């Protein structure tokens, strides 16, 4: 099993990612951390094989943790600026997945990492073709984060609104609060529901047809 440490400042997001990890064959959650300091302690304590690391941590950037660690790491973050991406690459991140993402995108990257890890598990000399393959393997199944025709910035706004709401919202309510068309809000909410990041259910009113409402996925015992 590939023992995985999840580092994210939001305990709810960390719990969602933990659920995603447990669904991928060959992976197990070793633990979670919500600050850089806690992550350092957990790395020393648990010696994980892989760290899923957020950039935005409350005490310091996750990228500083990446730079000092010798453990394999994949970035899971909303940070899309060139400085963060460039720093992550220079510090040795094996992949970089932008939030929000789908369970399939997440699973594909973990599967690619597992193949990369297996490829390098045996001590041997590699030819140039093998070395080229080793560099490609972590990205072998990368997929676009945002569905065609969608903006990652808008996807983040919709996600953040649901996380902050504290109650389920309909597409019309999200559209009104963000100043976008209802159809646009509906498209992004549907993508988030398909990814497993949010829960979707029907809202029944006194009259008229029921409508879908969406809420940020709760952790076990937290309720919806």
The string of pLDDT tens digits covering residues 35-62 is 999 999 999 999 999 999 999 999 999 9
**Farthest CA pair distance, the chain:** 71
Verify that 125 and 179 share a domain, yes or no: no
Reading phi first (left if > 0) and then psi (alpha if -120 to 50, else beta), residue 108 is in: alpha
Verify that 135 and 159 share a domain, yes or no: no
Between residues 37 and 189, the one the model is more confident about? 37
Q: How far apart are CA 216 and CA 222, in angstroms?
A: 11
94 lies in some domain = yes
Verify that 135 and 180 share a domain, yes or no: no
Structural domain that includes position 52: 2-139
Per-residue confidence (pLDDT) for residue 139, from 0 to 100? 87
147 lies in some domain = no
We report the CATH number of the domain holding residue 179 as 1.10.10.10
> Of 109, 139, 169, which closes a domain?
139
Verify that 84 and 189 share a domain, yes or no: no
Q: Is the dihedral of CA 21, 26, 28, 33 positive or negative?
A: negative
8 lies in some domain = yes
Verify that 26 and 91 share a domain, yes or no: yes
DSSP letter at 140? T
> Of 104, 139, 174, which closes a domain?
139
Buried/exposed code over 93-127 (b: 16+ C-beta within 10 A; e: otherwise): bbbbbbbbbbbebbbbbbbbbbebbeeeeeeeeee
Verify that 63 and 96 share a domain, yes or no: yes
Between residues 151 and 85, the one the model is more confident about? 85
At residue 208, does pLDDT exceed 70?
no
At residue 221, does pLDDT exceed 70?
no
Average pLDDT over residues 66-80: 90
Strands 72-77 and 169-170: unpaired
> Of 116, 139, 162, which closes a domain?
139
We report the CATH number of the domain holding residue 36 as 3.40.50.2300
**pLDDT tens digits, 145-155:** 555 566 667 77
Verify that 110 and 169 share a domain, yes or no: no
Per-residue confidence (pLDDT) for residue 143, from 0 to 100? 63
Verify that 51 and 23 share a domain, yes or no: yes
Verify that 164 and 81 share a domain, yes or no: no
Sheet-wide strand order for 198-203 = 169-170, 211-216, 198-203
- For 120, the 3-state DSSP assignment is coil
Q: How far apart are CA 143 and CA 61, in angstroms?
A: 26
Would you place residue 144 in the very low, low, confident or very high pLDDT band (cuts 50, 70, 90)?
low
Q: Which range has the worst mean pLDDT, 19-28, 36-45, 173-182, 188-197?
A: 188-197
Would you place residue 1 in the very low, low, confident or very high pLDDT band (cuts 50, 70, 90)?
very high
Verify that 127 and 176 share a domain, yes or no: no
222 lies in some domain = no
* Mean pLDDT for the chain overall: 86
Per-residue confidence (pLDDT) for residue 211, from 0 to 100? 80
């Amino acid at each position: 099993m590939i023992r995985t440490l999840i580092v994210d400042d939001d305990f709810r997001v960390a719990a969602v990612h933990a659920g995603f990890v447990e669904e991928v064959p060959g992976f197990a959650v070793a633990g979670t951390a919500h600050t850089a300091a806690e992550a350092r302690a957990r790395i020393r304590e648990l010696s994980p094989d892989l760290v899923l690391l957020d950039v935005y941590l409350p005490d310091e950037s996750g990228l500083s943790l990446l730079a000092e660690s010798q453990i394999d790491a994949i970035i899971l973050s909303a940070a899309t600026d060139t400085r963060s991406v460039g720093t992550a690459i220079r510090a040795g991140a094996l992949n970089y997945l932008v939030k929000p993402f789908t369970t399939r995108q997440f699973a594909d990257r973990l599967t690619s990492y597992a193949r990369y890890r297996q490829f390098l598990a045996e001590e041997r000399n590699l030819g140039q073709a093998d070395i080229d393959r080793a560099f490609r393997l972590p990205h072998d199944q990368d997929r676009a984060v945002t569905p065609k025709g969608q903006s990652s910035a808008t996807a983040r706004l919709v996600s953040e609104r649901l996380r902050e709401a504290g109650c389920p919202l309909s597409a019309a309510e999200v559209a009104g609060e963000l100043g976008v068309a209802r159809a646009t809000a509906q498209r992004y909410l549907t993508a988030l529901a398909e990814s497993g990041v949010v829960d979707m259910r029907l809202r029944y009113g006194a009259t008229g047809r029921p409508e879908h409402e969406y809420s940020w996925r709760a952790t076990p015992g937290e309720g919806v």
